[in-house]
Structure 1
Amino acid sequence: MSRIDAKFAALKAEGKKAFVAYVMAGDPDEIRSLGIVKALPAAGVDIIELGLPFTDPMADGQTIQLAGQRALEAGMTLQGTLDLAAKFREEDDTTPIVLMGYYNPIYSRGVDRFLADAKAAGIDGLIVVDLPPEEDDELCIPAQAAGLNFIRLATPTTDDARLPKVLTNTSGFVYYVSITGITGAAEASGADVAPEVARIKAHTDLPVIVGFGVKTPQKAEEIAGIADGTVVGSAIVSEIAKGKSVAEVAAFVKALADGAHRA
């Protein structure tokens, strides 16, 4: 059982929904980024999504694009991201970390080497947004063989014909993207999300977590009440971009987590 599986089992036993927080590794710099990541579990974060900075983040809106640029300009790399995760693991061996990013840096490093290094650093799962199911042999299947969950995105345009293919080889959880388009672009609608979550759940026993467009504690509560949990990314990254302290970012995150946990 992975840390992700164990976390969802524990949440289910407590009757709680999951709160997942996304932050960009190395934003605004390595030291503050590590401080923020270390503060997330105490703020109520159940699973950490750690963004891997990339020069061409096609699925991300301006907020996360700029976070990636800040991280890259501060010297963050794939190795630096894994080192950050390893430093977090020195103090926390239970909170799952999902590495979210694009395939190019992984390919450049070499899949086998990357998977071994990610596992050693304490990474539990991968979300690689530009690898479709047709390319599962490239990374998904090797990742699962190495003991890493491979989490797939489903979107409002994933129809019934496509959904089974998307769910094949998916593990950990399914990430439902509540809106069409890029991150941070619009607000999620519970009325729109509910039937889609139900449709996905009819095809899988995996938890379904909803992200994109969740920016307030009230929205986190609404969306978590419909699904098995919710993800907040751009709203947290925006607070970091404003130069907020670790304590201030943690307080903002706690309010969101409390909302999700009320669901």
Structure 2
Amino acid sequence: MSRLAQRFAQLKAQNKKALVTYVMAGDPNPHVTVPLIHDMVAAGVDILEIGMPFSDPMADGPVIALAAERALAGGTNTLDAIAMVKQFREKDQQTPVVLMGYLNPVEVIGYDKFVQIAADAGVDGVILVDLPPEEAIKFDDVLKQYNMDQVFLLAPTSTDERIAHVIKQASGFIYYVSLKGVTGAATLDTQSAAERIAKIKAQTDLPVGVGFGISDAASAKAMGAVADAVIVGSAFVKPFATENATDAAVKAVAKVKELRTALDEL
């Protein structure tokens, strides 16, 4: 059983919802990330999503896009992001880690080499935003050799056919994008998202996490009530744009505690 499966099983047994947090590797510099994610786990994070910086992050709003620019300017690349996971694993062998990014750098490295390095570092799953399931079979075959999960996204616009296709091919969990737009968008239609999540959950035993547009206790609690996990990114990344790294990290950890408290009230 993978670390992701184990964590979701543990949380289900405890009647708890997973808090999944996104951090851009190397933002604002390579020395910040590993201590930050250790502190976030200590504050209540269940699953870590580590962003691999890319120059054309098409699914991301300005907050995370600028974080990628800062990380790249600071010298962090895809392999550096994976190396940060390996460093994290020196002290934490339990917390699941999922890499999130885009296909281009993975293709440059090569599927086999990328997955081998990621598996050796202790990565549990991969989300490639711009790799649709129809084109992901070869990549999925390589991931399966290393017992790693491929997480796919579903959106409010996903057809019944698309939902069925993704459910058939996905592993780890389903990532439901709660709104039409990019990461960090402000408008969250909780009722519509709840209806769509219920529809997805009726067709699969895989956990369903919901992300995009969740930024505070109220939105986390609303989505946690209908999903197995809430996924939050921009709210953690945003402070690094305007504050020094130490103060931004303190705010990120405080945000984790806020969200953890809200989810534990369900």
Residue type at the aligned position of 2:117: D
Q: Which residue of 2 aligns with 1:227?
A: 227
Counterpart secondary structure, 1:138: helix
Does structure 2 retain, via aligned residues, the 8 Å contact 1:18–1:261?
Answer: no
Counterpart secondary structure, 2:34: helix
Counterpart secondary structure, 2:137: coil
Q: Aligned partners of 1:79 and 1:127: how far apart in 2? A: 16
Q: Does 1:252 align with 2:255?
A: yes
Q: Does 1:262 align with 2:243?
A: no
Does structure 1 retain, via aligned residues, the 8 Å contact 2:239–2:248?
Answer: no
Identical positions, percent: 44
Q: Which residue of 2 aligns with 1:144?
A: 144
Pairwise mapping of residues 97-246 of structure 1 onto structure 2 (< 5 A)?
A: 97-243=97-243, 244-246=247-249
Q: Aligned partners of 1:250 and 1:135: how far apart in 2? A: 37
Counterpart secondary structure, 1:139: helix
Q: Aligned partners of 2:77 and 2:21: how far apart in 1? A: 21
Which moved further from structure 2: 129-138 or 104-113?
129-138
Question: TM-score, normalization: structure 2?
Answer: 0.96
Does structure 2 retain, via aligned residues, the 8 Å contact 1:229–1:260?
Answer: no
Q: Which residue of 1 aligns with 2:80?
A: 80
Q: Does 1:58 align with 2:61?
A: no
Q: For residues 24-45 of structure 1, what are the alpha-carbon distances to aligned partners after superposition, in whole Å with 9 as ceiling and x for unaligned?
A: 0000111112221121111110
Residue type at the aligned position of 1:14: Q
Q: Aligned partners of 1:39 and 1:125: how far apart in 2? A: 21
What is the number of residues matched between the two proteins?
263
TM superposition shift of 1:245: 4.1
Q: Aligned partners of 1:261 and 1:113: how far apart in 2? A: 40
Q: Aligned partners of 1:131 and 1:53: how far apart in 2? A: 16
Does structure 1 retain, via aligned residues, the 8 Å contact 2:220–2:259?
Answer: yes
Does structure 2 retain, via aligned residues, the 8 Å contact 1:103–1:128?
Answer: yes
Pairwise mapping of residues 44-55 of structure 1 onto structure 2 (< 5 A)?
A: 44-55=44-55
Q: Which residue of 2 aligns with 1:30?
A: 30
Q: Please list every run of 5 or more consecutive structure 1 residues that lacks an aligned counterpart in the other structure.
A: none
Q: Aligned partners of 2:40 and 2:192: how far apart in 1? A: 29
Q: Please list every run of 5 or more consecutive structure 2 residues that lacks an aligned counterpart in the other structure.
A: none
Question: TM-score, normalization: structure 1?
Answer: 0.97
Q: Aligned partners of 1:59 and 1:248: how far apart in 2? A: 25
TM superposition shift of 1:261: 2.6
Q: For residues 196-227 of structure 1, what are the alpha-carbon distances to aligned partners after superposition, in whole Å with 9 as ceiling and x for unaligned?
A: 01110121110000000001111111111111
Does structure 2 retain, via aligned residues, the 8 Å contact 1:47–1:95?
Answer: yes
Which moved further from structure 2: 130-139 or 61-70?
130-139
Does structure 1 retain, via aligned residues, the 8 Å contact 2:49–2:100?
Answer: yes
* Backbone CA RMSD of aligned residues: 1.1
Residue type at the aligned position of 1:250: V
Change (3 A) 1:201 1:101: same
Q: Which residue of 1 aligns with 2:9?
A: 9
Residue type at the aligned position of 1:60: D
Does structure 1 retain, via aligned residues, the 8 Å contact 2:40–2:252?
Answer: no
